[in-house]
Every structure is written in C-alpha cells, then in structure tokens.
A = this chain, B = another copy of it.
Amino acid sequence: MTVDLPVRHYELDDYKSDEKPTWCPGCGDFGVLNAVYRAMRTRNFAPHEVVAVSGIGCSSRIPYFISTYGFHSVHGRATPVATGVHVARPDLKTLVFSGDGDAFAIGAGHVVHAMRRNLDLTYVIMDNAIYGLTKGQTSPTSGIGFHTATTPSGNPEQALNPLALAITCGATFVARGFSAEPAKLADLILEGLDHKGFSFIDVYSPCPTFNKVNTFKTYKDEVDWLPSDYDASNAANALAHATSEDKRYLGVFLRREAPTYAEQVHKAHTGTEADRAKVLGGMFKRYS
C-alpha cells in the first residue's frame, strides 16, 4: 500500500487541511492544533503516514483540521479505535485526541486499559475542565464546588487528577502542557511521538465560552514548569509533583521503558498471510 517516495520536506501548511477550525474565538484548542502542526513539521512526518483519532467534543473536531488520515469516532471511544488502528498498522504514527469528558467521563474505562497495555500511542487531552460541545456542564476535571447548570449547588465530586491516573495505570510517558505556550507544547508532543510506548499529555486548553473559573488568566497564575533538575524517571516523584497542591506543574512528569503491546503481539506471530491455506488445512485435519 505504501508507495516509495522521494524524501520531501514539509512546511507547516502541509499539515493544515482546507477545513477551517470552527472553534470559538479565543478557544484554547487553537494552541493545541498549532503545537500539533509544529511537532509534525519538526519530524517531517509524511501526512499520509499519520492517523489522528478522536472522540466527540469541541476538541475532538481536531482531525478535520489536520491533513493526515483521521478518524472522528464516537464519544469516549477514541482510545479503542486508536488501539485498533495502531495494532493493525504499527507502521503508521497514531495520535489520539480527546476532551476531558471524552477521556475521563465516558471514556475512562478504555483509557485505563490503553495505558496499561503500553500501546505506542500519543494521547493528547485537551482539558478545559468543562463539557464544551454540550454548552458547559461539569466535567471530571472540574473542581469540587464548580457551578454549572447541572451542578447548581456546586460540583459534589472531587476532580480526577489525569496525571496521577496515568502514572498509576502504566503510561510510560506522562506530561502536561498549556495551550498558551504552543512552542513548548509542541516539544512535549514531539517527545511523546518519539517515545516508544503510551504517551499521555494532558493540556490545559481553556474554554473561554463556558468555563469562567479555569481561564487562560487563572492558569497563567497557577502553572509552573517542572524544575530543571526534576527527575522524570521516578514514578513516586512524578506522582508527588502531579498531586502538588500549590502548583500546577507543566512538563514531563515521567518517562519509563516497558515492552509495548504491539511489540509483544507481533513477536508472537509465528507465520504470515502466506501461510493461511496451510494453517487452515492443518486445522481441518485436526477436526477430521
């Protein structure tokens, strides 16, 4: 299927589709999109060798704006679909995108398993602590006490900590970015793409339309990049920084090595397509 091509140099524009992003003006997702373009350009990925998979949400529209292959699936199922794409086609780069609702509400069960499997996926969560597409309800990353139409007396649930979940469930690369810093975010995504194994990148990507609590401004006051001497090889350390109550750290919290899922299942292959008739014949015999 893949045709041999002369190496070509791609510009940023080569990663842009002809569909214009339709997010509200000022939406954090623009910053994420730009970071994705940049990361791909830096590695000079061929657009036809990349697949961008997403669920449903404002953020999950992102594949339409990227000139690669893409799959805009159903709500909460970005990781299963991406798992299928990746396990079937480990020769392609598979990126996954979700909103915080898509990833951690309806999709939580799948995300836990995708991480546990250490699939070689780069998962970017565009986290605005709100359900944007459905016009502003409390999400799993909304803080306790958060007011929306569905939680008029304040959210009674404590927020889920995406990084802590990722660290605990086996993601081998865990990072957080901020869409107001697209250059640094591009670096994180790039590192995620380069990493062999499950890369989990939670991105603060504010929704100015519906979330008036977690805004560009409040995040700017609260974030800080991990110190330069930070040791990302230690899970306990990563967890301590991920759950820090005084700072919202940005950067790479954890990097570790582990066998990937695709490596293992492909290693278990004892034959190829060419063996099909032979294998089948053998099975027929066994039942005769």
Contacts and interface: CB of A to CB of B under 8 A. Distances in A.
Interface string A164-188: 1101111000000000000000000
A101 to B, nearest CB: 12
B156 A117 contact: yes
Interface stretch (A38-46, A61-69, A260-268): A260-268
A158 interface: yes
Interface in A214-264: 235-236, 239-240, 243, 258-259, 261, 264
A107 interface: yes
A26 interface: no
B118 A113 contact: no
B239 A112 contact: no
Given A109-B108, A109-B109, A116 B264 contact: no
Contact of A108 (B108, B154, B235, B243): B108
Nearest to A157: B117
A172 to B, nearest CB: 10
A170 to B, nearest CB: 6
A192 interface: no
Interface in A91-114: 104-110, 112-113
Contact of A157 (B107, B116, B239): B116
Nearest to A153: B268
Contacts of A164: 168
A161 interface: yes
B117 A113 contact: no
A50 interface: no
A140 interface: yes
Interface string A99-142: 00000111111101100111000000000000000000000100
A81 interface: no
B258 A116 contact: no
Nearest to A263: B156
Interface of A: 104-110, 112-113, 116-118, 140, 153-154, 156-161, 164-165, 167-170, 235-236, 239-240, 243, 258-259, 261, 264-265, 268
